[in-house]
Structure 1
Amino acid sequence: MFRSTMVVTILDCYTDEAAGLGVPPYLGTYPRYLFGYFREQKKEVHYLTIDDIRLLMLYKNRRPEPSEKQKTNIYTYNTTGKDVSAILKKTTTLVVILGVHVPGKYLSAVPGTLREVVPLLKDLRCTKILTGPALFGTQLEGGKFSERIHSAGFDEESFDFSYDELRRYVVLGAAILKEIPDLRVLEIETGKGCAYGRCSFCTEPLKSSVAYRKTEDICAEIRALYDAGARYFRLGKQTCFYSFPEPIELLRKIRSECPDIKVLHIDNVNPRHVIGSRGEEITKALVKYATGGNVAAFGVESFDPEVIEQNALNCRPDIAFKAIEQLNRYGAGQSPNGMPMFLPGINIIFGLIGETKQTHTENIKGLQHILDEKWLIRRINVRQAAIFPETPLGKKAGNKFVRKNRQHYWKWRNDIRQNIDVVMLKRLVPVGTILSDVRMEIYDGMNTFGRQIGTYPLIVGVEKKRLELKTFYTIRVVGHMKRSIVGEPV
């Protein structure tokens, strides 16, 4: 497939999917797998980021420090510090990893888009291969149709390795950490596909049938990364951690074999499995073996029965409430880092089939019930659906409901932020709470913003102080914003 003299450069434009995150400080699976694959092929392989390309081509390798009135430039925050021009000159094959399927906001990174990347790379004289979620479309903003590439000088290759093949590549791929000068959270894949697989908006069922990795293979990968210096891990690349065949054994082995791990978190969880026959024991194991501030992203998407039915969403409100109660029963206690040990997170998606003004009423009703029960929720993500044509949402409705209700979204979103989020945040981390290991990341004028390392960490703002970036602080909570907190160093 590739010439023996080939020099491969992996260009990481960052990825964000329903099942998998690869936006810094996360390092996704795609670059690691490919790095290991090309190493096994005995190729000369390099790793660059879209920030490297921006710095070279848009800023001529000049990175001015922000003045006291400016923000940190997050478009060039995650560079590798290499001689990018020299690497590109000798590159014979450029593999571009790109794709966002669940648009979000990022504190210190900006994923590359096709509209950005194609012009930046058009003059490079090498074979260019596009891979990653963008093969199914990509969209950095909610409420819009996905972008697709139309040739533009790129070949397309899925690099859809079997789990037997990955057994070799993941260990070799750990060497990629030598190419990255900054801290990274390692996103670990436990499985692919979705056993439920019917939610109207989701792209995961389009990519793969259901399959799970072997526990020993996952542990071998984590050991290789751990031996290479990694200490922050998230078992996040799957649609439901609770559906993994051996979740408790996996957690136990990781903690036994890698005793100095600083962060071990998960991501997606189907509430149906939380209240299933194994759910309670898995919850207890996560509280025991994972680290503080852990979050199970439940989805939910809507509390409106009509929307749930028309979009075949994965759980009814009563199921979600039972799962929320269980995680609170075992995981709401404060952990050593100051955050609750293990809590649920909820998504609310605007633009689904059947959405009406009553949908917002039902959403507020459901969220208010959570407050009334005194349950804690770590975060509520509110976004507009990105429309992918091959999903049921794309085929049946497209952006019909996004267009119909767009005028209401900011009000609906603000209702949730003002009436639910602020109240929840004050319960979650009251004034006076001490948060350890808060890593400062960006400036906004004289203010500094940071967060703990992990899954869905709280943004912490320190007012009128420019603290040293990429440095850890202990912070006392002194105030609350809609979705973030105000703190001071102690």
Structure 2
Amino acid sequence: MKYVILDCYTDEPSGLGVPPYVGTYPRYIYGKLITEGHNVTYLTIDDMRLLKKYDGQKPIINEKQKTKIDIYNLTKNSPIIKEVLADCDSLIVIMGVHTPGKYLSAIPGTIREVQDYVKDVRCEKILTGPAGSEHGSQLEGGKWSEKPDMKIWDTADPNYFNVSTFNEINKYAPAGAKVLEHINPEHSIMEIETSTGCFRDIGCSYCVEANKPQVFREQEDIHSEVRALYEAGARHFRLGKQTCFYSYKKQNAKEIEKLLKPIADLKPKTLHIDNANPVMVNEEITKIIVKYCTPGNIAAFGVESFDMEVIKKNQLNSTPSATMRAVEIINKYGKERGENGMSKLLPGINILFGLQGETKQTHAENMKYFSEILDKDYFVRRINIRKVVPFEGTPLHERVGNKFLRKNDKYYWKWRNQIRQEVDFEMLKKVAPIGLVLKDCIAEVHDGGITFCRQIGTYPLIVGVKERLDLQKSYDIKITGHMLRSITGEVVKEE
């Protein structure tokens, strides 16, 4: 059969597949289909937008305009998309956002947008990935999720191709590296899966991962996939598809070292992690992560709130004291700067608005602990603030829905702005002081006469340079100033 994979990108609590990340869904499905002998073409939502919105012609951008990020991530198949769609037997659409974020050079597809594009394609249409689940998809925090119109789809199933158990994944993941033939992987990051589910018996009230059993993937299988991706041209890797990296193999430091060392021996340009439960952070594992991973690494903590009332009512995974201890440990071993200019390993903190029990005191508690972090001179790379999405099937949806989102929405701008002004801004000046040189920053997008650049990695700093640099080229940039969540800089000229 002739299959077309249309990657509309995914963002979940335990996995990212929005460019520059190449997610697991397209790789696994591609690997399964080519192993079975099918003809498979890989496309992105950007290819489809170019066809539908721009009639297949890339618009000419002048020096005063922004880069069109809706068509930034085109595949090599973009010129033949009409022929490919006309000749395919089955269109597989991968999409779904469960943790809405902001993306510098990509826009994930929404269900409504994609349905409009594919409704007239004459073939079997399969919706898979997170959007195919009961939870649907939502690109904006604080809103109800979108659900597919089943008049358009033949099937909607998050695991339609049954590549969801590690026995199946390990059969097809190495072959899935061949999907990189359809793109230029030089500046792409491979999201790597190490486990499924959560170690906690009762998960957080809002989380869609909580009802999945915790299963660990064996190191040899992970290494086999990473080697295949490396041979296919990938040089940047993030062990990010799991709820807590520190929990791998029941928080076993020796097993984590067995996981990291062979990947580090390949000498990738980037080896990072994502997601850590502060309760699980200890010194032994932190030292191993710092030893084998590359600088600029972030352990993102799903703190969500420092308010004990909110923590109790939403079964959140940490307490303020446990979070502060984890911040201290990671700073102790990871604060030192590496060769690219950034600290070797820093914590990140996620905050959610709209959880059950949220009051004005919630914000006061958050500010109290952020102030303590600043006062103790701990580094935190980034604070991610978003509105919760009350997905169907979660305890939050069943108990209160969007009650607290509606109740406190009038405060959110003020709360967010205070964190940005009083915490983020001060923290940036510590993490990335004026005069620091950040090496190997990729020029990613233009906004008039400004170029926004960043290193390749997990949650990299965005640097605005006041000149129109050639995109997709690498520059060393010296920091010249700070904004609320980003920095300004100038290119270090070669002497």
TM-score by length of 2: 0.95
Aligned to 1:432, which of 430, 435, 438? 435
**From 65, 72, 84, the counterpart of 2:60:** 65
Shift of 1:181: 2.4
Question: Does residue 1:172 correspond to 2:172, yes or no?
Answer: no
Aligned to 1:364: 367
Residues in 2 aligned to 1:347 and 1:27: alpha-carbon distance in whole angstroms: 23
1:468 to 467, 470, 490: 470
- The letter for the 2-side match of 1:480 is H
Deviation of 1:455 after TM superposition, in Å, equals: 0.1
Answering whether residue 337 of structure 2 is matched by residue 334 of structure 1, we say yes
1:240 aligns to 2:247 (yes or no): no
**In the alignment, is residue 90 of structure 1 matched against residue 92 of structure 2?**
no
* Residue identity opposite 1:203 in structure 2: V
- Partner residue, 1:3: none
Matched, 1:325 2:328: yes
Identity of aligned residues (%): 54
Aligned partner of 2:14 among 15, 19, 22 = 19
Is the counterpart of residue 201 in structure 1 residue 206 in structure 2? yes
In structure 1, C-alpha distance between the alignment counterparts of 2:60 and 2:273, rounded to whole Å: 35
1:153 shift after superposition: 2.0
Alignment correspondent of 1:44? 39
* Partner of residue 406, structure 1: 409
- Confirm or deny: 8 A CA contact 1:118 1:152 kept in the other structure: no
Match of 1:447 in 2: 450
Deviation at 1:387, TM superposition (A): 1.6
What is aligned with 2:138?
Answer: 139
Tell me the equivalent position of 1:350.
Answer: 353
Alpha-carbon distance between aligned partners in 1 of 2:478 and 2:387, rounded to the nearest angstrom: 34
Determine the C-alpha separation between the residues in 2 that align with 1:286 and 1:434: 24
The equivalent residue for 2:419 is: 416
Partner of 1:222, secondary structure, is helix
Separation in structure 2 between the aligned mates of residue 152 and residue 371 of structure 1, nearest angstrom: 53
Q: Distance in 1 between matches of 2:450 and 2:462?
A: 13
**Following superposition of structure 1 onto structure 2, how do residues 110-189 of structure 1 map, counting pairs within 5 Å?**
110-134=107-131, 135=133, 136-154=135-153, 155-157=155-157, 158=159, 159-161=161-163, 162-182=165-185, 183-189=187-193
What residue in structure 1 maps to residue 71 of structure 2? 76
Distance of 1:395 and 1:433 partners within structure 2: 49
**How far apart, CA to CA, are the structure 2 residues paired with 1:150 and 1:58?**
22
Cα separation, 1, equivalents of 2:475 and 2:435: 15
Please say if residues 275 and 299 of structure 2, whose CA atoms lie closer than 8 Å, have aligned partners that are also in contact. Answer: yes
Query: Separation in 2 of the partners of 1:165 and 1:300?
Result: 33
The offset of 1:65, in angstroms, is: 2.8
> Which structure 2 segments of 5+ residues have no match?
250-254
Tell me, yes or no, if the aligned pair for 1:473 and 1:489 is still in contact at 8 Å: yes
The Cα offsets for residues 445-466 of structure 1, whole Å up to 9 and x where unpaired, read as: 1110010000000001002x10
Structure 1 unaligned blocks of 5 or more? 1-5
Deviations 1:262-305 (A, max 9, x none): 0000000111110xxxx211100111100000000011000111
Q: Quick one: distance in 1 between partners of 2:489 and 2:151?
A: 47
Maintained 8 Å contact 2:162/2:168:
no
How far 1:177 sits from its partner (Å)? 0.6
SS in structure 2 at match of 1:205: coil
Which aligned runs of 4 or more in structure 1 are off by greater than 3 angstroms?
Answer: none
Deviations 1:123-144 (A, max 9, x none): 0000000000112311000001
Q: Which moved more, 1:229-238 or 1:156-165?
A: 156-165
Take 1:296 and 1:65, find their aligned partners in 2: how far apart are those partners? 40
Aligned-residue offset at 1:160: 3.6
Amino acid at match of 2:389: A
The residue number in structure 1 matching 2:235 is 231
1:369-398, Cα deviation, whole Å (9 max, x unpaired): 110111000000011001202111111111
Instruction: Give distance in 2, aligned partners of 1:403 and 1:142.
Output: 13
Cα deviations by residue, 1:166-205 (Å, 9 ceiling, x for unpaired): 2120111111110112531000000001112511111112
Classify the secondary structure of the residue corresponding to 1:194: coil
Aligned equivalent of 1:265: 272
3-state SS in 1 of match to 2:92:
strand
Matched to 1:273, the amino acid is M
Partner residue in 1 for 2:483: 481
Query: Following the alignment from structure 1 to structure 2, what is the Cα–Cα distance between the partners of residues 320 and 88?
Result: 50
Give the match's secondary structure for 1:244: helix
Find the aligned partners of 1:64 and 1:151 in 2 and give their Cα distance: 34
CA distance in 2, matches of 1:357, 1:316: 19
Report the alpha carbon displacement of residue 487 of structure 1 after superposing the two structures with TM.
0.5
